[in-house]
């Protein structure tokens, strides 16, 4: 993996910035841009549609998308990537009628939620799947609160866009207090057929790893460390069947990294007033990407992981793996639109 993903997170009225710029710490580094403009009375954050209540109708279909300048077909729910955010309340019983408009079987798995096994949404294990043209009604009682997400467990549909956020509010007062609350859903997109990507990796695991060791590198190591050391180093990597530069099976050569469905050429907008506590619900919906997240000049207090409240831990950066969620609290200072948060 050779690129850093640098999406603009809390910002407004900015020129476009590069989203992918280099490698850091073995993951995709998300440096969340700290440029802001103070919020007015009306919020204009570009977020997924939020659906609330206990009855939901979700339609899975193909929808044209264009993240790289090339038109492709994405797998969407109600026409969007990410899918609508579902906001529920602990203790409620929810009913979700899912209609399949695809030409193939589909499904939805409620990641981290604890429904009866028949409602878990894994074809061949908990149910038979949703055939083309059919509607399946998921129904279950919510036994927990926190940040979760949902996605397909059929084929490569998750990779092509079938994922969304879930927020379950606690039945009583939320012990995590915040003035603003935003979902930040991270993902990876490829213009290639995901099955073709998988086939390439099955035939050659380093297909997308272009930085290979050469004879010149060997002689450089031998001159600096000795011939025996250089040979031992290569023997170690050969025994692991890995390259020294093999940090990820798939690189930005084929991946474009998205945040809330926004591509590198776009900006994500979240507004707030200086001094407010802002809750950011990070969800990694990537098929296989690790993201390293930081906001320069601003501490993050981790208050929840995978839906479970934790004793707050203050960090400058955290790494989030596929399917994980991290809730953090940030308190931006009294900055103007041309200075950095926390100044």
List, in order of start, the domains of the chain with CATH numbers.
50-178 (2.60.40.420)
| Spatial separation of the C-alpha atoms in residues 26 and 246, rounded to whole Å | 9
What average pLDDT does the chain have?
Answer: 84
Reported pTM? 0.81
* DSSP string for residues in 222-280: HHHH-HHHHHHHHHHHHHTT--TT-S-SS-TTTEEEEETTB-TTS-------TT--EEE
The pLDDT assigned to 26 comes to 38
Average pLDDT over residues 92-104: 98
Pairing of strands 93-100, 135-141: antiparallel
What tokens does 321 get?
């793996």
Check whether 189 has a pLDDT greater than 60: yes
Neighbouring CB atoms inside 10 A of 225's CB total: 12
The backbone torsions φ and ψ at residue 286, rounded to the nearest 5 degrees and listed phi first, read -65, 150
What confidence tier does 129 reach under pLDDT thresholds 50, 70, 90?
very high
Q: Give residue-wise pLDDT tens across range 38-90.
A: 333 232 335 789 999 999 999 999 999 999 999 999 999 999 999 999 999 99
- Sequence-separated contacts (24+) of 262-265 with Cβ below 8 Å: 262/7, 262/46, 263/19, 263/67, 263/68, 263/189, 264/5, 264/7, 264/18, 264/19, 264/20, 265/16, 265/19
Return the H-helix or E-strand segment holding 295: none
Report helix, strand or coil for 202: helix
């Amino acid at each position: 993996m050779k690129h850093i993903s640098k999406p603009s997170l809390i910002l407004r009225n900015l020129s476009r910035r590069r989203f992918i710029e280099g490698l850091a710490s073995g993951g995709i580094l998300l440096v969340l841009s700290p440029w802001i403009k103070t919020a007015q009375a009306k919020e204009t954050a570009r977020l997924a549609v939020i659906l609330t209540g206990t009855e939901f109708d979700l339609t899975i279909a193909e929808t044209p998308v264009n993240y790289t300048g090339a038109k492709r077909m994405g797998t969407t729910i109600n026409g969007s990537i990410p899918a609508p955010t579902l906001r529920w309340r602990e203790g409620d019983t929810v009913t979700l009628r899912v209609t399949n408009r695809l030409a193939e079987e589909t499904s939805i798995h409620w990641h981290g939620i604890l429904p009866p096994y028949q409602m878990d949404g894994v074809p061949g294990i908990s149910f038979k799947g949703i055939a083309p043209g059919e509607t399946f009604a998921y129904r279950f009682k919510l036994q927990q609160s926190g940040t979760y997400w949902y996605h397909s467990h059929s084929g490569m549909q998750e990779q092509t866009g079938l994922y969304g956020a879930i927020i379950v509010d606690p039945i009583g007062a939320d012990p995590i207090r915040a003035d603003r609350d935003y979902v930040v859903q991270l993902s990876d997109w490829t213009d290639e057929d995901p099955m073709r990507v998988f086939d390439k990796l099955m035939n050659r695991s380093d297909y997308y790893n272009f930085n290979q060791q050469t004879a010149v590198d060997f002689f450089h190591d031998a001159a600096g460390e000795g011939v025996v050391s250089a040979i031992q180093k290569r023997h170690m990597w050969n025994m692991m069947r890995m390259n020294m530069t093999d940090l990820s099976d798939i690189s930005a050569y084929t991946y474009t990294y998205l945040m809330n469905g926004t591509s590198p050429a776009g900006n994500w907008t979240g507004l707030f007033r200086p001094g407010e506590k802002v809750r950011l619900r990070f969800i990694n919906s990537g098929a296989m990407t690790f993201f390293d997240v930081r906001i320069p000049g601003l501490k993050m207090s981790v208050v929840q992981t995978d839906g479970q409240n934790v004793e707050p831990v203050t960090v400058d950066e955290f790494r989030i793996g596929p399917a994980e969620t991290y809730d953090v609290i940030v308190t931006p200072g009294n900055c103007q639109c041309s200075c950095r948060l926390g100044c």
